[in-house]
A and B are shown apart, each in its own frame.
Chain A
Amino acid sequence: MKAISVTVNGEQHEAEVEPRQLLVYFLREQLGLTGTNVGCDTSTCGSCTVLVDGRSVKACTLLAVQADGAEVTTIEGLGTDGELHPLQRAFHEQHGLQCGFCTPGMIMAALGLIEENGALDDEAIRAGLEGNLCRCTGYQNIVAAVRAASAELAGARS
């Protein structure tokens, strides 16, 4: 077992983890943050995407020990005081989800994309979300949601 210290959604956690434990299972099974989903075992589907030190990362590609000292944001860390984050609200308003399983990862990937690039056009959104699979929506309303939120977030920043 190895001792790690990770800040997750602003809260610091000291934990003992097996060296082989993936970050996603640390979040889900040790911290009980089950909003981050596991959809594959090849780092392909992107359902487990979280932010690590502000960059979007598939939490199944990282060992928990590699997150030692890092700041992690999961879907549970978005939104404040019962208000949805603009991306969460946009997914709701644009019908950017159906079964919802890919949604937390999709939102976190989109957040990473927007934080890196600001406002995005459809082509950049589609290319930027290439690593996140959705089987329900055909992506059309996901693209619309990210477009709307990226304009709002970029506007708020400038």
Chain B
Amino acid sequence: MSAATQEGARWVGQGVLRKEDPELVTGQARYVDDLTLPGMVWMTVVRSPHAHARIVGVDVAEARARPGVVAAFSGEDLASEFAAGLPCAWPIPTTHWPEPFDSDPRMPTHWPLARDKARFAGDGVAVVIADSREHARDAAESVVVDYEPLDPALDLEEAAADGAPVVHDELGNNRCYTWSLSGGEPEQVFLSSPVLVHERYRHPRLVPNAIEPRGVLVQPVAAQGEFTIWSATQIPHILRTTLALTLGIPESKLRVIAPDVGGGFGSKLNVYAEEVLCLAVARKLGRPVKWIEDRSEAYVATIHGRGVIQDIELAATEEGKLRGVRVKLLADMGAYYQLVTPGIPLLGAFLYGGVYDIEAYHFECTGVLTNRTPTDAYRGAGRPEATFAIERAMDALAHRVGKDPAEIRRLNYIPPFDEPHPIAAGLQLDSGNFVSQLDRALELVGYDDLRKQQKARRDGGGAKQLGIGLSSYIEMCGLAPSQVLAALNYVAGGWDAAVVRCHPTGKVTVVTGTSPHGQGHVTTWSQITADRLGVTPDDVEVLHGDTAISPLGMDTYGSRSLSVGGVALWHATGKILDKAKTIAAHELEVSEEDLEWRDGAFRVKGAPDKAKTVPEIAFSAWTAHALPEGVEPGLEATSVWDPPNFTFPSGTHVCVVEVDTETGETEILRYVAVDDCGEVINPMIVEGQVHGGVAQGIAEAMYEEAVYDEAGNLVTNSMLSYRVPSAAELPAIETDRTVTPSTTNPMGVKGIGEAGTIGSPPAVVNAVADALVPLGVTSVEKPVTPERVWRAIRDAKEAR
């Protein structure tokens, strides 16, 4: 039995209200833009208006003469500041994985300010530093840049072709890598299967839109060569290491603090030019430097997500039993590699077979450079794309063989398993019970009844038709086993760390290597600690997001925090218990074997009143008056957990829509999400993650899309033209859970941060497509805007 379900759990499993909230609801939070330092100056970045242009000259003289201006620099002016370009931690070579690769990965050069060419509209070409936000902004308009515009490489397929404008001249073409993997005998399976389905899906680029824009503040102590960096980042630890390498500053002289951070969704899982530039300028000027992103700037200067074209093929029997999946991707890298740009498609590479029992698999992805904002991790990262492809294709297969979408899934699920289970793509799933999630979701939504209502509406022939969409997803998260990361050519580890410090007064400090920005780790970690050590959540203080306080950490992304950092905490409390037990036995004058942990204390078996609590032991460990021989004073432990496998959350979502076939408008009538994230520490927080994740997935399915014009300018460049949905657009979400404990860690936890965003887009689009079946519509692309739906209906009519 896992920890989370162990008898006597008082706090784990409860919807404990968040300890984070009081400062956030009263305006006492401290985001980067809330911080001000004496002598602070403001930085503004001058950005290219061209998607692709040679930089003939940058003249900052006029800007330097403007009121309040302290300095202005071009890319060439700062060239000597950098020991290396901006980091990419996941260089992907061309290879058939896991075979060794012959040639080094092709890596585009990425300086914090462009020197020779501007490679996307928004590429930084100069910085202006002034005594106020307004002066810096005013003066930026006086920087004169002489551009020689070049043809841009924009369309993904055209950019991949020979003869396209080349984004990075030294690479010769825009194709960065082709990475593939196979399992089983895909060619044989496809040749011998009577039913073949081929689908093509496009994933537009998405703009992450964390409500807090990015921001950086750097305080130098010039005389010591020391710097403190506050950044709106998900990754203070990774940022510290990479800043040290990029700027040639000893890592021990850098302290990175992620203060309160206003959402990330992957967009703050990066090392950005502005972070490096603020530090370089602060070092050069010896003054504190601050940069705060405008929202319109965020649309071009913060990474985008998705941007993939997929060709997916299914091989099946006449009955619809799936045998093989083959998929080929083109993935838009944008103009440069950011921190993990080329690796994002690989996070989905193993998952295009979904939750289905298949015998053969082939995945192939080509990464392509274009003259657009770099892409990188956006909530789900690779896995929403994989889930969308297989779940849309499963519906296509259902139509092809004349089966109901629920029936085709039920026929093909991997049967329930609670030991690691190999899949054709080559990973071991940790545990799963997919059919139970489907059953629960269908029951909650009232599936059979809905199908009857749908039939009645179809028979009635009215304008408003019902559609029911299913999506069964699985994701790999809990990033990650370090050895697997190494095999995938990722240059960092996947472990995380926790320190537990028991104070003599009975209070506990937990230091975590994760870096929450809305996920509620302070509360959840307090619950885990409280149950493990027999204290209350209020007795526990959780510290995070400051490399001086928590030097060991790998930060927060990829739904990893609980299943890696939380498990590290579990192990650290285990070490505390081991030591406390030794001391307790000594004080109670019994052997350790005579003690049991019950009701929050070590008790003598058969004489439960003879007991010692952890706070009592913490006090005696601190006085050290009578410790057993060889036991050090103090009660503190550190643990670093490197998981042996990924975790694999899964679930089934059902979306019910009403589509107005005259206007193309879609309304979501019901949304049911049944998720399985293994054991649950705080159900309130888990539900909140599902709500937010599903909302983002619905936004992806129905509203959001980065649209470019022919010159390579982002047309949807603000919250006015890019539709981040409000409360008025989104439905209430009905949630439930199944619990299949993970076999990857002793807590049985899997992770929930991205599940909603992964499961929901195909549920919504499948629902819209389902509503349009009687009209002969066979495909509809996301986002399913009224215009797209209306056009799909019209095209189907014309084709008949």
Contact = CB atoms under 8 A, between A and B. Distances in A.
Interface of A: 18, 20, 25, 28-29, 33-42, 44-45, 47, 74-76, 78-79, 84, 88, 91-93, 95, 97-104, 107, 122, 125-127, 129-143
Given A98-B692, A134-B211, 12 more contacts: A18-B134, A28-B33, A35-B28, A39-B213, A95-B15, A98-B519, A122-B732, A126-B727, A129-B727, A138-B691, A138-B696, A140-B732
B260 A142 contact: no
9 contacts: A34-B33, A45-B295, A95-B685, A97-B24, A100-B25, A125-B727, A130-B727, A133-B211, A138-B695
A122 B728 CA distance: 10
B263 A135 contact: yes
Contacts of A84: 22, 25-26
Interface string B354-377: 000000000000000000000000
A39 B21 CA distance: 20
Contacts of A44: 295, 718-720
A108 to B, nearest CB: 10
Contacts of B695: 137-139
Interface in B738-778: 756
A87 B260 CA distance: 22
Nearest to B682: A95
Nearest to A34: B34
A92 B719 contact: no
Contacts of B295: 39-42, 44-45
A69 B730 CA distance: 39
B21 A42 contact: no
Contact of A101 (B20, B31, B733): B31
B549 to A, nearest CB: 21
B96 to A, nearest CB: 39
Nearest to A77: B27
Contacts of A139: 691, 695, 726-727, 730
A103 B24 contact: yes
Sort A-B residue pairs by CB-CB distance and give the 4 closest, nearest first: A35-B27, A101-B262, A100-B24, A138-B695
Contacts of A142: 727
Mostly, the B contact residues are loop
B688 interface: yes
Nearest to B516: A99
Nearest to A36: B27
B719 A100 contact: no
Contacts, number: 181
Interface residues on B, range: 35 or more
Nearest to B519: A98
A136 B518 contact: yes
B18 interface: yes
B262 A100 contact: yes
A44 B134 CA distance: 21
B75 interface: no
A35 B25 CA distance: 9
Contacts of B684: 95
A93 B15 CA distance: 10
Interface string B259-273: 011110100000000
A45 B727 contact: no
B210 interface: yes
B694 A130 contact: no
Nearest to A133: B724
B29 interface: yes
Contacts of A74: 27
B718 A42 contact: yes
Contact of B726 (A97, A122, A129, A141): A129
Contacts of B427: none
B212 interface: yes
A99 B213 CA distance: 13
A16 B685 CA distance: 45
Nearest to B295: A40
B115 interface: no
